[in-house]
Amino acid sequence: MKVRLIVIVALGLFVSMVSPLAAASAPLDAATLKRIEAIEPQVIAWRRDFHEHPELGNREFRTSKIVAEHLKKLGLEVQTGVAHTGVVGLLRGGRPGPVVLLRADMDGLPVTEAVALPFASKARAIFNDDEVGVMHACGHDTHVAILMGVATVMAAMRKDISGTVKFVFQPAEEGAPIGEEGGAELMVKQGVLENPKVDAAFGLHISAALQAGKINWRPGGAYASVDDFRILVKGRQAHGAYPWTGADPVVASAYIITALQTVVSREMKLTHNASVVTIGKITGGVRSNIIPAEVEMIGTLRALTPKDRAHLHDSVRRIANNVAESLGTTVEVKIPMSHGYPVTFNNLALADEMRPVLDAVAGSDNVVSNPPVTGAEDFSFFAEKVPALYLGLGGRSPAITEDQAPGHHTPTFQIDEQGLVLGVKALTAVTLSYLGTRSSEASITP
């Protein structure tokens, strides 16, 4: 009798110990999948509404109001006005456990839409003193709709959740207006990772190039750091007919731009260390026969590790100063000029843990490893503080090739809405898996 009891207890302990693996292989039960399928039409409707009414960074007033009202209807604890227009909804599960942050960015871009959709944007707004068209040209409308769907699904099962979920709807991912703070950096500064303290963060970004139904996945550095920079070259003004009487900052600028190309081509290990040094604007002079006193250059730096980021900063300063001195001019170098984002780093252990979850949700053939991206993401400010995983979600119609897909940040950007439901499944699955696994581990800790 005692032997039989010991066997039963041991078997029960074994089952509880392997339950995290079982949860990973089947992260969504039939009831949850049914809820997700039922919410899909509403997710698409939300997306179309947000697409038709885009708002620029720190001005997402309508969007945040709709989000906040929805989260309140779900019974979440809702905080508004975070980092200007951000919304945070807190879902407390029926049992104690860790805290997971899920994030969606809400802002559109100063782009005039050129896609003939019945819900195309006709919005106009003021951006840095200019009137511009406004468009969701990077898919943030889909991110908001997907996360609202996830909140709906998880609110219906809160009593079965072990832990807490923070739904973070973030403004100004594309950058705050000149003279303002914003985005994830300001949310972190204002304490979004505290009260309760966040244990892990998840997010996703739709891709117009990746086929709908697929997920991009990459451990480590996924999106590059970004720093804008300014080089002011100071010379000595002179008549264009007598250049020897001055010190020409135009010529110095040309040499500096050429020399900066050697940072990537000659200083970085190209097979491992992708990086970018780009000058995007150069301004100087007023007419053909006057050598100006100064020339301004502004540009962007991208790197995929903190070490490479620091190397780029040092090299740009060194080259600009040395080249300028050799030509009798001086420089002022400011890095960053206005803002910078760190590398978006996917925690290696968390990525490894969630790979089988993603395989179960999307099918292993549909979870693809992607190369690092030299675009940047301010989700990096969350990932800098807590273990995080940021995924790519397919949004390309199977009817077109990757080469035919419209570019992000362009007037013709568009996505295939059939990919949105996978976004709801993926974020729900990784959240439930993370919370459930740790709850199970806690239950067997002696």
**Number of neighbours of residue 172 by Cβ within 10 angstroms:** 28
User: Strand 388-396 vs strand 200-211: parallel, antiparallel, or unpaired?
Assistant: parallel
Range list of β-strands (E), 142-199: 162-170
- 2-224+343-443 maps to CATH 3.40.50.300: no
Q: How many residues does the chain have?
A: 446
User: Residue 308 pLDDT more than 50?
Assistant: yes
Beta strands in 8-85 (DSSP E): 77-82
Known catalytic residue at 417: yes
Task: Average the pLDDT over 20-38 and give the result.
Answer: 78
Distance in angstroms (rounded) separating the CA atoms of residues 94 and 91? 10
| pLDDT number for residue 271 | 85
Mean pLDDT for the chain? 93
Least confident segment among 108-112, 132-136, 252-256, 270-274: 270-274
- Give residue 10's pLDDT: 44
What pLDDT is attached to residue 25?
Answer: 52
Is residue 434 among the annotated active site residues? no
Q: Which residue in the list 173, 185, 353, 417 is annotated as catalytic?
A: 417
Strand, helix or coil for residue 281: strand
What is the spatial distance between Cα 18 and Cα 401, in angstroms, rounded to a whole number? 42
For the cut 50, the answer to whether the pLDDT of residue 248 exceeds it is yes
What was the pLDDT predicted at 146? 98
* 154, 161 Cβ separation under 8 angstroms: yes
Q: What is the pTM of this model?
A: 0.88
Structure tokens at 11: 């078997």
Q: What is the mean pLDDT of residues 268-276?
A: 90
**CA distances in angstroms from 57 to 135, 326, 416, listed in the order given:** 12, 43, 24
State the Cα–Cα distance between residues 118 and 109, nearest whole angstrom: 19
Q: 3-class SS at 149?
A: helix
Residue keyed to tokens 């273990």:
387
Q: What percent of the chain has pLDDT over 90?
A: 89
User: Domain 225-340 is of which CATH architecture?
Assistant: 2-Layer Sandwich (3.30)
Quick check: 438 pLDDT over 90?
Answer: no
Q: Are 332 and 231 in contact (CB under 8 A)?
A: yes
The pLDDT score that the predictor gives to residue 344 is 97
Choose among 294, 284, 285, 297: nearest CA to 334: 297
Q: Over 90: is that where the pLDDT of 64 sits? A: yes
Other C-beta atoms closer than 10 Å to the C-beta of 65 total 13
Q: Identify the active-site residue in 341, 353, 377, 390.
A: 341
Pick the closest to residue 138 from 164, 173, 171, 162 (CA basis): 173
Cross-strand partners of 230: 298, 334
Domain boundaries, the chain: 2-224+343-443, 225-340
With H, G, I as helix, E, B as strand and everything else as coil, classify residue 98.
strand
Q: Is 436 left (phi over 0), alpha (psi -120 to 50) or beta?
A: alpha
pLDDT digits (tens, 9 = 90+) for 139-180: 999 999 999 999 999 999 999 999 999 999 999 999 999 899
